[in-house]
Amino acid sequence: RAKSQGRNGYQLFTETMNADALGRLLLEHSLYKGLGRGEFSLYYQPQIEMNTWSIGSVEALIRWRHPTLGLLLPGQFIPLAEEIGLIVPLGEWVLREACRQGALWREQGRSIRIAINLSARQFEQAGLVEMVQSALQDSGFPAELLDLELTESTIIQNKDNAAETLGTLRELGVRICIDDFGTGYSSLSYLRRFPLDVLKIDRSFVTGLAEDARDQAVVRALIDLAHALGLVVIAEGVENVAQRNTLFDLGCDVMQGFLFSPALSVEEVDIFLDTIPNTRRH
List of residues contacting Mg ion (CB under 5 A): 117, 149, 179-180, 236
Is the CB of 27 or the CB of 64 nearer to Mg ion? 64
**What's the angle, vertex CA 144, arms to CA 99 and CA 159, rounded to 5?**
90
Q: What residue 233 binds from Mg ion, ligand C2E, none (CB within 5 to 8 A, per partner kind)?
A: none
Binding mask 128-157 for ligand C2E (x = CB under 6 A): ---------------------x--------
Residue 265 phi, psi (nearest 5): -70, 165
Query: Interface with ligand C2E includes 179 (CB under 6 A)?
Result: yes
Q: What residue 75 binds from Mg ion, ligand C2E, none (CB within 5 to 8 A, per partner kind)?
A: ligand C2E
Q: Based on the number of CB atoms within 10 Å of its own CB, is 134 exposed (0-12), middle (13-18) or buried (19 or more)? A: middle
- Please measure the distance between the N-terminal and C-terminal CA atoms of the chain and give it in whole angstroms: 70
Q: What residue 74 binds from ligand C2E, Mg ion, none (CB within 5 to 8 A, per partner kind)?
A: ligand C2E
Query: Interface with ligand C2E includes 19 (CB under 6 A)?
Result: no
The amino acid sitting at 1 is R
Antiparallel, parallel or unpaired: β 232-235 and 198-201: parallel
Instruction: Candidates 139-147, 217-225, 252-260, 268-276: pick the segment binding ligand C2E (CB under 6 A).
Output: 252-260
Is the CB of 34 or the CB of 184 nearer to Mg ion? 184
Residue 131 phi, psi (nearest 5): -65, -45
Residue 97 phi, psi (nearest 5): -65, -40
- Region of residue 158 (phi > 0: left; psi between -120 and 50: alpha; otherwise: beta): alpha
Q: What residue 223 binds from Mg ion, ligand C2E, none (CB within 5 to 8 A, per partner kind)?
A: none
On whether the CB atoms of residues 129 and 161 are closer than 8 A, the answer is no
Is the CB of 216 or the CB of 261 nearer to ligand C2E? 261
What residues make contact with ligand C2E under the rule CB under 6 A? 45, 61-62, 73-75, 78, 87, 91, 94, 117, 119, 149, 179-180, 203, 236-239, 256-258, 263
